[in-house]
């Protein structure tokens, strides 16, 4: 499994290697591709939808709140038009990733509207709660497991046939699973959240073994402290305050930094898979 951080310069291809070099993402690097982004109403999901659309992909935005999805879609359309960038097709569909049947129906509607399946899936929907294990609310555990693990499984399963078909055509085909640096570390109060993200990272490793030989790339993106709504509804006041204090001590990254990392990964030549990428704020250790 290859680990990397977000790129800072164009790598130079070795003269001994005839294959394509890694490259930065141009405005039309993803033209012709059809992407699904879950959790697209806010945070990393919204930023990812914007980054993929800016690179030329058609994007289906999913989330639980229709008003947020509509606002993101309208804002993105206006920003691209104002920048003189061709506006790709953007489709907003309300769906809860924890409900497999409802998600499948929503994605079928999106496929019908676009006339195509997905060759790029970015599973961003997530939930985060923290509290001492002995006093934590089991209901918050369930919400994290339902969204972070089951929701991601539902998303991957609902799009596997699309991705396999794209891989069979020669690709590119990409499944992006947004995990967390928490998959690799330990911190008091975050046992269940970190466990859910460790499951995501390990799932990506296993799916790479299954999907890679069929032309589908699987990427695990593991962000550190990022500006988002995650954790704002924690019931444990001490944990919520500790998170706010940490954000002061360690300036968080904008969500666009993670979106750019995702876009960089999926824009590589089909022969290249960035299987695991850790992206941290400079001051986070």
Instruction: Annotate 27-77 with three-state secondary structure.
Output: CCCCCCCEEEECCCCCHHHHHHHHHHHHCCCEEEEEECCHHHHHHHHHHHH
Rounded to the nearest 10°, the torsion over CA 18, 23, 27, 28 is 30
Q: Active-site residue among 118, 141, 193, 264?
A: 193
193 belongs to the catalytic site: yes
Residue 167: phi and psi, rounded to 5, are -65, -40
Q: What are the start-end ranges of the E strands in the chain? A: 3-4, 34-37, 58-63, 90-94, 120-123, 174-178, 217-223, 276-279
- Burial-class residue 226 by CB neighbours within 10 Å (0-12, 13-18, 19+): buried
Chain centroid to Cα 279, Å, comes to 13
* Pairwise CA distance, residues 125 & 246, whole Å: 23
* Pairwise CA distance, residues 50 & 101, whole Å: 27
Residue 36: phi and psi, rounded to 5, are -115, 130
CA distances from 242 to 134, 140, 183, 239, 245 (A): 18, 18, 20, 5, 5
* Pairwise CA distance, residues 140 & 127, whole Å: 9
Task: Report which secondary-structure segment, H or E, holds 264.
Answer: helix 255-266
Neighbours of 201 (CB within 10 A): 20
Residues noted as catalytic: 193
């Amino acid at each position: 499994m290859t680990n990397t951080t977000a790129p800072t310069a164009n790598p130079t291809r070795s003269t001994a290697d005839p294959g394509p070099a890694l490259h930065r993402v141009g405005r039309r690097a993803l033209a012709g591709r059809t992407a699904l982004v879950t959790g697209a109403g806010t945070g990393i999901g919204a930023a990812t939808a914007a980054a993929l659309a800016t690179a030329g992909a058609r994007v289906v935005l999913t989330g639980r709140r229709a008003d947020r999805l509509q606002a993101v879609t309208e804002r993105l359309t206006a920003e691209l038009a104002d920048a003189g960038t061709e506006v790709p097709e953007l489709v907003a569909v309300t769906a809860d990733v924890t409900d497999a049947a409802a998600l499948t129906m929503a994605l079928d509607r999106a496929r019908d509207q676009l006339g195509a399946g997905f060759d790029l899936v970015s599973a961003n929907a997530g939930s985060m709660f923290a509290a001492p294990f002995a006093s934590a609310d089991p209901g918050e555990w369930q919400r994290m497991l339902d969204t972070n693990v089951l929701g991601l499984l539902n998303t991957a399963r609902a799009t596997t046939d699309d991705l396999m078909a794209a891989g069979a055509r020669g690709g590119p085909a990409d499944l992006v699973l947004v995990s967390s640096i928490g998959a690799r570390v330990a911190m008091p109060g975050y046992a269940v959240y970190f466990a859910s993200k460790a499951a995501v990272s390990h799932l990506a490793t296993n799916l790479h073994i299954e999907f890679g030989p069929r032309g589908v790339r699987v990427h695990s993106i593991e962000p550190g402290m990022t500006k988002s709504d995650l954790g704002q509804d924690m019931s444990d006041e001490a944990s919520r305050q500790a998170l706010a204090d940490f954000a002061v001590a360690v300036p968080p990254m904008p969500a666009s930094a993670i979106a750019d990392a995702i876009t960089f990964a999926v824009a590589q030549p089909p022969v290249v898979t960035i299987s695991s990428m850790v992206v941290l704020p400079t001051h986070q250790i």
